[in-house]
Amino acid sequence: MQFTSLDAKMRAYETAFDQKVLPEVYIIARLDGRGFTRLTKELLDLEKPFDVRFRDAMVDTVRHLMNCGFKVVYGFTQSDEISLLFHLEERLFERKVPKILSVLAGEASARFSLSMGHVAAFDCRLSTLPNANLVVDYFRWRSEDAHRNSLSAYCYWKLREQGETASAATQRLSGASVAGKNEMLFQWGINYNDLPKWQKRGIGFYYEIVEKQAANPLTNGEMIVNRRTLKTDWDLPIDEEYSNFVAQIINSEHRHP
């Protein structure tokens, strides 16, 4: 069989699952650490419930993903997960789902492993959303999830410090209300509202225009120019303010394809 015939025959099988995201549909990729429970609790000596070295590795990974070829307009991380909003006009890899998933998972796994100094892996999934309102809802969902996870993590590890077993601490928190968990922490001298916001609401990443000095080749002097810079936001707003914040990013980026 000639190579051209063999090539055409086998590529039909290879591309059978090359689904593409439709045009004018928003793409959000969510990456999760694979086996990170064991990684963070057994293999790495990390501070509980939040470790700065782990946080910085996640931040480094998000910033890398926003500069690895895709046009990502907003990134968000909390715990061991990352969410990335693509520009509505993104066309890389012809919007092929397998390509997007494999490239992002590979890039994240490699970068985090280098940053953390330990082999780690991420998986990836896509949400395809037909309008901007659903994009806002998605990030509100992840923000609220960060809040719930953070509160539970603080309670869990305080219980463990008090001598509770893992199963006993989990059982005690099962069904506990938000108010009940806050009161539990308050009894240990922790006011949850005073904790760093990045621990409670995650960390955001987006581009902003900043003024910088640059050399003027015509006058050999200096001039002020605008530069698009990736910002890491440790102090994200909450509730409706966060919804408006995400909506503004979508509207702003839509004006800059």
CB 201 within 8 A of CB 151: no
Q: Domain spans of the chain?
A: 19-254
Q: CATH classification of 19-254, choosing from 3.40.50.1000, 3.40.50.10110, 3.40.640.10, 3.30.70.3000?
A: 3.30.70.3000
CA distance 255 to 257: 6
- pLDDT band for 175, please (50, 70, 90 cuts): confident
Sheet strands (E) in the chain? 26-34, 72-78, 81-86, 121-129, 203-215, 222-233
Question: Which pTM was predicted?
Answer: 0.91
pLDDT tens figures, 113-172 = 999 999 999 999 999 999 999 999 999 999 999 999 999 999 999 999 999 999 999 999
